[in-house]
Copies of this chain bind each other. A is one copy, B any other.
């Protein structure tokens, strides 16, 4: 079984964390067999943490996990913090295949999305 873990920063604002949970639920609806389980996890300030999120997928019987950094730029969190968590998770679960996707900000479509959003300004 294949799992996807969407990793977001986490916020002091509960609504913001709920927004990420709802996003993960929308991803699940669209995943159409690409993944058996899709969850989110938070780098800080919210639960589940990254280790908890990975463990939860492992507990569901997932053997292969794609980690998706839901971050806009290749800053410290993407370049250092998330890889450190994954190294730890990999050592703890050597039987699990862990892979990392590009972070969301690397999507080529971002300039168009920015202009689309800008057109909705009020």
How many chain copies? Answer: 2
A30 contacts B115, C-beta separation under 8 Å: yes
A76 contacts B12, C-beta separation under 8 Å: yes
A11 contact set on B, CB distance < 8 A: 73, 75-76
A30 contacts B112, C-beta separation under 8 Å: yes
Residues of chain A touching chain B, judged by Cβ–Cβ distance below 8 Å, are 4, 6, 8-9, 11-13, 15-17, 19-20, 23, 26-27, 29-31, 34-35, 66-68, 70-76, 79, 99-107, 109-122
> What are 14 of the A-B contact pairs (CB < 8 Å)?
A11-B73, A16-B79, A17-B73, A23-B111, A29-B111, A30-B115, A68-B114, A70-B72, A70-B114, A99-B121, A100-B121, A102-B120, A107-B113, A109-B109
